[in-house]
Structure 1
Amino acid sequence: MLDMDAASFEALVVDELDQLPDDMVDGLDNVVFVVQDRPEDGSLDLLGLYDGWALTERDRYGAGELPDRIVVYREPHLAVCDSVSALRDEVHTTLVHEIAHFYGIDDERLHELGWA
């Protein structure tokens, strides 16, 4: 298990987000990225979460909607990583995975593509 304070982890997430391809992040509309210590249930099983309407379902999306959220959980990431390099890789994978949900790509397809 890796040890990293919340501020350092958030900086790492921002850095990994900045390294994603422009065509992946430029299309994100009304989405915020949030870092939290753990999921609400306190488990360490979930690394990230997309909370919102996928782009493919935005016909139900109205004006004035609160932003969708992509949440990256710090403690679960630290629990599965034993180095900063491994943590960067895992955060990168989590960001791609959750952004894919925004674009309407489900877990089955993400498994096929190697991002789950």
Structure 2
Amino acid sequence: MSGQDAYGPAPDAAAIEGIARDTIARLPAVFAAHLGDVLLLIEEEADAETLAALGLDHPLDLTGLYHGRPIGEKSSMDSGAMPDSIHLYRQAILAEWVETGVRLDDLVRHVTIHEIGHHFGLSDDDMHALEDAVVD
């Protein structure tokens, strides 16, 4: 009997998106106010071009990615730029979930906040404090 049979089907993209959106909804208002135009995308895995740009060899090595410029680096001259986006990679998240035994909601919350932190140009310590602020 495989792990999937023993525990049911793996969480789908909608389940991961639900956890990520719940995390965003729990952010302090000062952060949430600046995320309205940021796209949240749940993808199966990072594409080869993204992996190559980051110097990664395997799609399971990347659980999330922020595409865009941190708020502090934005300029009024940025018109025409693609919208900022947060990409969560389902297969890599599921692999880390199985490997580490961390609760799925905790893992997705961590990855989501880490990528949001890049949007705001936060340090790792600031990201951890933000994560603590949204924990149940």
State TM-score, norm by structure 1: 0.77
1:114 deviation in Å? 6.7
RMSD in angstroms over aligned alpha carbons? 2.7
The corresponding residue for 1:14 is 21
1:76 deviation in Å? 0.7
SS in 2 for 1:67: coil
Q: Which has the higher contact order (CA 8 A, sep 6+)?
A: 1
Structure ID, larger Rg: 2
Alignment of 1:26-105 (within 5 A): 26-28=33-35, 30-41=37-48, 43-59=59-75, 61-82=77-98, 86-105=103-122
Q: Percent identity, aligned pairs only?
A: 30
* Structure 1 alignment gaps of length 5 or more: none
Structure 1 residue runs of 4 or more that deviate by more than 6 Å after TM superposition: none
CA distance in 1, matches of 2:15, 2:35: 25
Residue 68 of structure 1 aligns to which amino acid in structure 2? Answer: D
CA distance in 1, matches of 2:117, 2:127: 12
CA distance in 1, matches of 2:16, 2:118: 23
**Corresponding pairs, count:** 111
Richer in helix (by share): 2
